[in-house]
Amino acid sequence: MKPPLLPLMRIGILAFGYLYATSKIANAQVTSDGTVNTEVNQTDNVSEITGGETRGDNLFHSFQEFSIRPGNQAFFNNANAIKNIFSRVTGGNVSSIDGLIRANGSASLFLINPAGIIFGEGARLDIGGSFYGSSADSILFEDGEFSATDLDNPPVLTINAPIGLNFRDNPEDIANNSVANDGKGLGVAPGKTLTLLGGNVSFNGGAITAPVGRVELGGLSLAGTIGFNNDGSLSFPEGVTRGNVFFNQGAVVGVSGTEGGNLTVNANNLEISGNSILQGGTFASTGIADGQSGDIILNATSGLKIDGSTIDNVVEIGNGGALNITTPNLALTNGGKITASTLGQGNAGNITINVTDSVSLDTGRISTSVGEEAEGNDGALNITTSNLALTNGGQIVGSTLGQGDGGTINIDATESVTLDGTNAAIFNSVEEGAVGNGGALNITTSNLALTNGGVINASSSGTGNGGSIFVKADTLSLDDGKIFAANIPSESLTENSAPRVGGNITLEIAENLSLRNESLISVEAGSNATGGLVGIEAGFVIAFPSQSQSNGNNIAASAEQGQGGNIKIIAESIFNLKEREDIDGNGANDIDASSDFGLDGTISITTPGINPVRGATELPNTPVEPEKTTAQACRSDLESGATNGLTVKGKGGIPPAPDLPLNSQTIIVNGQDVTTETNQAQYQEIKPIPTSKGDIIPAQGVVVTEDGRVILTAYRTDSNSRVPQGSANCGR
């Protein structure tokens, strides 16, 4: 297997290959290998290609060399009835194409060269059908293959349509540097397909355009077959490592047109850098009001990096298509962007990102939007991952500037979501002057942290209601962080205006919700709008003391002229937060649902008491037979019978052996009997116990009167003394 190479290394290798190929083809440009009657006639700067073998509407050509110098062209002079031209290069040298390839009619052209293909800056296509350029070693059909490497056996020439391309181990690369056609590069007719498949595929400032068509890019690093589907898309083999795909130096891939085309990239590592752009969508100039944008689908089995570049699916008339990304790791750096927007009459497309490990936005941005002059709803933005990190101004955004409602942002990160730094934000907003309601912003994760200015926002400054925020997490930590779903209209409501309310925030936190350093949870309502709802259910809500005379850490549903909102908190306990009006500079941690000029809202706080025996082990309800217990403990025939006894440290009145009389003066201290005598007579002597209330005579006997009363006596009685009688259970 070829190890992945860094982009710059790959560029260097391709440049070397280009120079090597150029030197080898200085005198030989397009030549036949003589196998399928291909004829090449050179006239001035044109290599005219005729002959070949025809089967039905398929035409087969075979070349020893196929390269085109700048300013030259290769002209397939085929019959107009031909549907597909299948051409192979068998000489073992890379094809360097820096001129024009053209064909008659609407024929599609397949060009395979196992040694690789380099499209130079002047490379152009002038064909009526689709174009497939590949470093595959053969074109597969249902009944055989047209191979560029197995020349010992006659090729299979068939009337059938191809079903796939076969690759050997370590297939060579495809490079596109074309900037011909005023920067449009390699292009096909509207509605057609342009496919480049190699080992690795790189765009070094090159461009591809397929308006209303399809672009398929990718490769394999090991042997395998890439299949053709009926709709023109490709199927990649399972379990075969894919090649890498690189876009750099301002590379462009565009499938926009009257209706948006489709762009699909299948790679191992996919890197888009150096102000490159992958673009789909529709143009207003087409005059089609209901045009539908196509889809952009990016699959990278190891990782996708967007560095200072853009993936954009924008529609000016009609509805946006899908923008789907699947990869283990996604990183946006240096202003890298993924966007889906509408600028005309139609809804913005949806963005769906499935990442198994981590999504990192370091000065990067993922967004959906409704433009200022647009009429349509914002699209949905769905991210599923393990970890999501936004740093240095990284943002996830849904915004409405025109007429339409905000979309929905759904983030499901199984382990963590982190927003760190000023302008690190997830927000779904309706901007000033827009007409529409705010959208929903939903986050599910184990740990959510907003630090150093990180913000989650679902606010509205337009004419509609504020959006909503829902967070479900084990822990939520705000350290100079803010969560707000405010409604702050730019102008006051009139009598004819629809009522507007602030947004809603719902936080379901299994463990701790903590606030530090002027953090804020707010559904503030400006102008005449009514405050929204803050609902919090958490284990513990903890606000740490302010470090300065600032605003403290606050939970607010306040309003200006309208009614204050509602705050409902259910928690085991709330620490260092009080119900009071939030006043700038009070340095306090406040829970505030007040209104400056209207009615105050409501605050409901429930902190259920803790059950002191919760979790205690329930004792068994099985009775113990005392005879068995005492017989086992007091048997005199046991080896330890001579030392049997009952000892209570620090207490008096208990004798050292069960057959001795009870006496309050029998005391065991640290395991030692401090009684001066151990004979029976000693225990008959009565000695007072001095106390602060006087001397107390220990009871020595018991008398039961006729009416049932029990009287303790200071003397021994014959039948009711404190001397225990023998017991059969104790062997006496």
For residue 711, give the nearest of 724, 722, 701 by alpha carbon. Answer: 701
Per the prediction, the chain carries an average pLDDT of: 83
> Residue 145 and residue 163: Cα distance in Å, rounded?
10
**pLDDT for 658 beyond 80:** no
**pLDDT for 394 beyond 70:** yes
> Residue 343 and residue 338: Cα distance in Å, rounded?
16
Across residues 564-571, what is the average pLDDT? 91
What is the DSSP track for 447-471? EEEEETT-EEE--B-SSS---EEEE
Across residues 232-254, what is the average pLDDT? 95
pLDDT digit string, tens, across residues 296-327: 999 999 999 999 999 999 988 888 889 999 99
Tell me the longest C-alpha to C-alpha distance in the chain: 145
* Confidence category of residue 88, pLDDT binned at 50, 70, 90: very high
Handedness of CA 504, 320, 214, 280 (dihedral sign): negative
* Confidence category of residue 673, pLDDT binned at 50, 70, 90: low
What distance lies between CA 141 and its chain's CA centroid? 41
**pLDDT for 397 beyond 70:** yes
Across residues 102-114, what is the average pLDDT? 98
Highest mean pLDDT among 183-192, 277-286, 688-697: 183-192
> Residue 675 and residue 530: Cα distance in Å, rounded?
83
**pLDDT for 639 beyond 60:** no
pLDDT in the model for residue 286? 44
**pLDDT for 631 beyond 60:** no
For residue 577, give the nearest of 524, 534, 525, 529 by alpha carbon. Answer: 534
**pLDDT for 218 beyond 60:** yes
pLDDT in the model for residue 723? 42
> Residue 364 and residue 332: Cα distance in Å, rounded?
5
Torsion on CA atoms 421, 425, 430, 431, rounded to nearest 10: 30
pLDDT in the model for residue 345? 87
pLDDT in the model for residue 351? 97
Tokens encoding 151: 């020349």
**pLDDT for 337 beyond 70:** yes
**pLDDT for 285 beyond 70:** no
* Confidence category of residue 499, pLDDT binned at 50, 70, 90: low
pLDDT in the model for residue 497? 58
* Confidence category of residue 197, pLDDT binned at 50, 70, 90: very high
Reduced to 3 states (helix: H, G, I; strand: E, B; else coil), residue 12 is: helix
Q: Contact at 8 Å (CB) between 78 and 106?
A: no
pLDDT digit string, tens, across residues 451-490: 999 999 998 777 777 789 999 999 999 999 999 887 766 5
As to burial, measured by CB atoms within 10 angstroms (0-12 exposed, 13-18 middle, 19+ buried), residue 549 is exposed
pLDDT in the model for residue 626? 52
Give the lowest-confidence range in 8-17, 92-101, 447-456, 490-499: 8-17
Give the lowest-confidence range in 121-125, 131-135, 292-296: 292-296
Tokens encoding 544: 């740490």
Handedness of CA 622, 626, 631, 633 (dihedral sign): positive
pLDDT in the model for residue 623? 54
Give the lowest-confidence range in 122-126, 566-570, 724-728: 724-728
Highest mean pLDDT among 9-13, 585-589, 690-694: 585-589
Angle at 138 between CA 133 and CA 139, to 5 degrees: 70
* Confidence category of residue 621, pLDDT binned at 50, 70, 90: low
Q: How much is the pTM?
A: 0.79
Q: How far apart are the first and last CA of the chain?
A: 92
pLDDT in the model for residue 26? 41
pLDDT in the model for residue 586? 77
* Confidence category of residue 542, pLDDT binned at 50, 70, 90: very high
DSSP secondary-structure letter at 126?
Answer: E
**pLDDT for 629 beyond 50:** no
Highest mean pLDDT among 115-124, 371-380, 633-642, 710-719: 115-124
> Residue 381 and residue 440: Cα distance in Å, rounded?
10
